Amino acid sequence: MPVPGFNAQGMLPPTIGDDPTTADRSPYFVTMPDFVRAFATSAERKSLLRNLIAYRSLIATDGYENGIHFLDGSFVENVEAIRGSSPKDIDIFTMLHAPQKYVTDMSLWQSHGFPFWSSEIADLKKNKDRFSLDTYALLIEEHPLGITLRQVMYWYSLFSHQRETFAWKGFVAVSFDRAQDAEALALIEAM
């Protein structure tokens, strides 16, 4: 499914069509190339998309291959029309499965995995400074199902409403797929 267009309020619609109970609703699960096609509309946006792909590349350097990013914030709004400015960052909540090397060797997780996770993947300030991304992350294997569901519900409720107006809005989900990133980066450069 491609990313739907902005509604009259300059946001992604929370649902597609007139049926409020439809399954065609946010988060919109799209590919990274589709995300780029929808949002690479200015030099500032292209720069943030390159940063997002660089962050995904960083994650992959430690063997992470399976996960999902929920993408939100002013980046998925028409802030140029609403506020007369470009988006300054992308808000990301990431859920990742641990690489098999950490699942089978807890001492490796403690000596290398956790330090990488906390200082690279989940370091909000560091990722804001180097990528202009607000990054929040959850390692699925680290939490019981109840805590994982609670985190998902928290981020869904946060991302599905605009901060300033509390208006209901849509957001996007993109699977962690490095092959798609190469295609997405080529699209950015070709635009």
Residue 131 placed within a domain: yes
Residue 48 placed within a domain: yes
For residue 110, CA distances in Å to 11, 48, 77, 82 come to 42, 32, 39, 46
Residue 10 placed within a domain: no
Residue 14 placed within a domain: no
Structural domain for 161, as ranges: 28-190
Residue 18 placed within a domain: no
Q: Is the pLDDT of residue 144 over 90?
A: no
Q: Which pLDDT belongs to residue 190?
A: 94
The more confidently predicted of residues 129 and 165 is 129
Residue 35 placed within a domain: yes
Q: What is the pLDDT of residues 7-41, one digit of tens each?
A: 999 999 999 988 888 888 999 999 999 999 999 99
The more confidently predicted of residues 113 and 144 is 113
Structural domain count, the chain: 1
67-72 and 172-175 beta bridge pairing? antiparallel
Give me the chain's average pLDDT, please. Answer: 94
* DSSP output for the chain: -PPPPP-TTSB--SBSSS-TT-S-BSSEEE-HHHHHHHH--SHHHHHHHHHHHHHHHHHHTTT---EEEEEESGGGBTHHHHTSS----EEEEEEEPPPHHHHH-HHHIIIIIHHHIIIIIS-HHHHHHHHSEEEEEEEGGGS-HHHHHHHHHHHHHHHTB-TTT--B---EEEE--HHHHHHHHHHHHH-
Q: Which pLDDT belongs to residue 92?
A: 97
Residue 149 placed within a domain: yes
Find all residues with CB under 8 Å of 42, minimum gap 6, and list them.
80, 86
- For the whole prediction, is pTM greater than 0.85? yes
**Res. 187 pLDDT band, cuts 50 70 90:** very high
Residue 20 placed within a domain: no
